[in-house]
Amino acid sequence: MKKSPYFLKAVVTSAVLLVGMSAAHAQTVFDFANLTNGGAGNFLPTNGVSCTGGDKCSSNVSSVLNGTLSFASGGLVVNVMASYNGSAFGNGAAVVQDHEPAYNNATFTGAGLGVYHLKNENSDDNITAKESLKLSFNQAVTISAIGLRSDGHNARFDSDKKFEYSFDNLSWTRTNLAGSVALNKIGQDFYIRYSEHSGAQFYLSSMTVAAVPEPETYAMLLAGLGVLGAVARRRQSKKA
């Protein structure tokens, strides 16, 4: 029996929307620890500015203590800013992406994002006392996990050492430092900082996120399914 063009259109529309929603729920990993010297890394605004020893950093910390690093992956964009001692994010502290020459994500070897608050001070490239980062995504995401690295560019932390995170910069959660920390929270902004309560220096090495579909996506899907239902009912009445 020949299908109505409206029926076929509704089927195609709903299928496309379902595929789009599935893609929106796909996880994306932002690997902040994988900074390369040859320009292959997708960080902004600088590339391979000399930092500490054999490391490379993506901010010129000798002259700039502000600005934003931006990362794009899986259709998502995250902008990262730094703060020191309560200063406005993006002003008075530089966010840096630090690299480990022996980087190996499988063995938790690497560094990641840190903060500089002193010009020409090359020893302060991680997140330490009074330092924090703000990460802003271009849309709401589900943050399933974050990766952390120690001052030694590995995942070895003392069991009593803490860090703190927030989704609004008001309510903070303190928890143990570890190579990977599960969060499973929805938000568009994410804050992370040194804990003044038994804290230790660390880097933010990665974030695992998934885009949250916009409300209009659900509305379009429901509309498509509604058309399907109406066509089916019309076909049933004609048969009767």
One digit per residue, the tens of pLDDT, for the chain of length 240 reads 555 555 445 444 444 444 444 444 699 999 988 875 544 444 433 444 556 555 667 665 666 667 778 888 889 999 999 999 999 998 888 888 888 878 898 999 999 999 988 876 666 789 999 999 999 999 999 999 999 999 999 999 999 999 999 999 999 999 999 999 999 999 999 999 999 999 999 999 999 999 999 654 444 444 444 545 555 566 666 665
Domains in the chain: boundaries = 1-25+213-240, 28-212
Question: pTM for this one?
Answer: 0.77
Residue 181 and residue 177: Cα distance in Å, rounded?
8
Residue 46 and residue 198: Cα distance in Å, rounded?
34
Residues 6 or more apart from 82 whose CB is under 8 A from it?
A: 89, 90, 93, 94, 95, 115, 116, 117, 131, 132, 133, 134
Burial code of 67-85, b = ≥16 C-beta within 10 A, e = fewer? bbbebeeeebebbbbbbbe
